[in-house]
Amino acid sequence: MLDIVIAGGLAVLPSGPEKADIGVERDKIAVIGAPGSLAALGAQRTVDAAGQLVIPGGIDPHVHCRWPMPVPGQTQHNMTDGPDRVSQAALFGGTTTILDFALVDGDNTVQQAIERRQKEWAGDCHCDYAFHTMVQGKLDPSVPDQLAESIRAGYPTVKMFTTDITPSRKGRMVQFGDIWEVLKVLAREGGVAAIHAEDNDIVMHMYEKLTREGRTGFENLAEVHNTLSEDLAFNRVIRLAANIEGCALYMLHTSAATGVRAIAAARANGVPIYGETLHQYLMYTAEDYKRPNGQIYHTYPSLKFAEDHAALWAGTDHGAIQTVATDEICCPLKYKLQGRRIDDTTGGNAGVEPRVSLIYTETVEKRGRSLENFVGLVSTNAAKIMGLYPRKGALAVGSDADIVVLDTRQRHTVRAAEMHEADYSPWEGRDLACWPSMTLLRGKIVVEGGVLKGDLKDGQFLPRKIPEAVRAHPVV
Ligand SMILES: [Zn+2]
Ligand SMILES: [Zn+2]
């Protein structure tokens, strides 16, 4: 007797889409068969998914929960919403796993930073989760050894900045020599470097120049965090990695054609490098900064231009871009609008809830892309790169029963007021081609018909290990 059968839907399996019944036993997918073939086994509950799409739960590889947000002109911080809120929104939208960051700050060791983050999240997250570590500023010489230990303990991805981002945020940038040392450890111990790559000289030069010229409004952000900066920084990091045997890269929030080209060229040379872009980089440009509340479309680096759009979209079609993340910063509109200048505008976006349906609409419906392409971008590729596959990111026997039934029979309009995230959405009013009718997390129905069910805050931490193949060649 099975616990649940998701019957008759068009299931996006690792082998491709087919009409199938998916049988769930406890927390795993136990059996997959032709429609009707599981009836003999019996089930506590059979969900009729006929006419709907069935996909593995979404994975957002880049979110920031309970994260300090600088307040313009002040030393204190506001905190963004915590995992309780963000993970709930994630489940409503069909995302069952989120990856956040354990920031190593002050005198903390990497291990202390992880311990603190684990405590903050324990019992407070509705979906499953994992952490990247993040090191910043001048690194203590003991940090590479600490990272070796954390990589082996299930935290194989390390975020580093090549820039301070804004003149007021000094202390983010990691010196290139220190990045070199960390990359060597990642290569040796089985990790992947997650790089926020911008050319600090160019970015800070542009801050000085625009400040001198009195053009400090945020609508000029694309001139500061510009395409040349992405070109220089991506290529510099790639050259560094290419000099380290076994060094793999994950380029965070790729925003420009120059970044796409840098990743594509490296992949063509066999460098194990993967590209992430963000939902809003695919759909908005620097022109959107001029709209009312234009800050709501912004994340650092910055929105770019039409040609960057075109390159990013081309890159998502089995090219340089493997994942579409949100860079989630969940906060009220009043916080998001606090900064108005090029040097104090709040980064990050609300969007974890509509992400899956939005990317379906943009890929499958608008661009005629395959269902595998869509599922790859919102789930499977992140699972593979981040070391969660096939436990996550697959509708396969033995995988966690993280299953989303996407109702493609009726359209859905994005309304922040009807969602569970922030009091605004950069996607307000968007017409989507689908919306989840049901989300399962490890075999439990957690959202059904727009209602949260099941055990609350039952999210589990996921220790990760990245397969050697992913770190040896660009396999996704
Ligand atoms: Zn970043
Ligand atoms: Zn981020």
With 0-12 / 13-18 / 19 or more C-beta atoms within 10 angstroms meaning exposed / middle / buried, residue 140 is middle
**C-alpha neighbours within 13 Å on the C-beta side of residue 359:** 35
Q: Which ligand neighbours the alpha carbon of 159 most closely?
A: 1
Q: Which ligand is closest in space to the CA of residue 328?
A: 2
Mean pLDDT for the chain overall: 97
User: Where in the chain are the domains?
Assistant: 2-56+392-452, 58-389
Structure confidence at residue 69 as a pLDDT band (50, 70, 90): confident
Which ligand is nearest to the Cα of residue 300, counting in written order?
Answer: 1
Q: Can you give the pLDDT at residue 172?
A: 95
Which tens digits make up the pLDDT trace of 326-356?
999 999 999 999 999 999 999 999 999 999 9
Residue 455: what pLDDT? 65
Q: How confident is the model at residue 321 (pLDDT cuts 50, 70, 90)?
A: very high
Nearest ligand for residue 161 CA: 1
Distance CA 81, CA 458 (A): 18
What residues are neighbours of ligand 1 (ion), with CB under 5 Å?
196
Find the ligand nearest to 325 CA: 2
pLDDT, tens digit, for every residue of 110-133?
999 999 999 999 999 999 999 999
CA–centroid distance, residue 399 to ligand 1 (Å): 31
Distance CA 448, CA 25 (A): 19
Helix (H) or strand (E) holding 20: strand 16-25
Residue 197 in contact with residue 237, Cβ under 8 Å? yes
DSSP state of 427: T
Q: Which CATH superfamily is domain 2-56+392-452 in?
A: Urease, subunit C, domain 1 (2.30.40.10)
- Rounded to the nearest 10 degrees, the angle between the axes of helix 176-189 and helix 143-152 is 30
Give the contacts of 24 (CB within 8 A, at least 6 positions apart): 2, 3, 4, 5, 6, 30, 401, 403, 440, 443
What is the DSSP secondary-structure string of 118-162? HHHHTT--SSEEEEEEEE-SSPPTTHHHHHHHHHHTT--EEEEES
Position 456 confidence tier, pLDDT thresholds 50, 70, 90? confident
Residue 448 CA, ligand 2 centroid: distance in Å: 30
The predicted pLDDT at position 76 comes to 81
Q: 74: pLDDT confidence band, cut at 50, 70 and 90? A: confident
CATH fold match for the domains 2-56+392-452 and 58-389: no
- Mind listing the pLDDT tens digit for each residue in 462-475? 999 999 999 999 99
- The residue among 476, 474, 470 whose CA lies nearest residue 271 is 474
Centre of ligand 1 to C-alpha 375, Å, is 24
CA of 195 to the centre of ligand 1 (A): 8
pLDDT of residue 407 exceeding 80, the answer is yes
In the chain, the percentage of residues whose pLDDT exceeds 70 is: 100
Question: Closest-lying ligand to the alpha carbon of 194?
Answer: 1
Q: Measure the CA–CA gap between 100 and 247, rounded to whole angstroms.
A: 22
pLDDT digits (tens, 9 = 90+) for 180-224: 999 999 999 999 999 999 999 999 999 999 999 999 999 999 999
- How far does residue 366's CA lie from ligand 1's centre (Å)? 29
Nearest CA-CA partner of 243 in 149, 176, 161, 145: 176
DSSP 195-227: EE---HHHHHHHHHHHHHTT--BGGGHHHHS-H
Dist. CA 196 → ligand 1 center (Å): 5
Question: Measured in angstroms, how far is the CA atom of residue 193 from the centroid of ligand 2?
Answer: 14
Q: Per-residue pLDDT tens for 220-258?
A: 999 999 999 999 999 999 999 999 999 999 999 999 999
Tens of pLDDT, residue by residue over 50-59, are: 999 999 999 9
- Closest ligand to the CA of 67: 2
User: Which-ligand-closest: CA of 169?
Assistant: 1
Structure tokens at 100: 């956040």
Superfamily of domain 58-389: Metal-dependent hydrolases (3.20.20.140)
Residue 322 backbone class (left: φ over 0; alpha: ψ -120 to 50; beta: rest)? alpha
How remote is the CA of residue 101 from the centroid of ligand 1, in Å? 11
Residues with CB under 5 A from ligand 2 (ion): 327
Main-chain phi, psi angles of 318, to 5 degrees: 55, 35
* Each residue's pLDDT tens digit, 142-169: 999 999 999 999 999 999 999 999 998 8
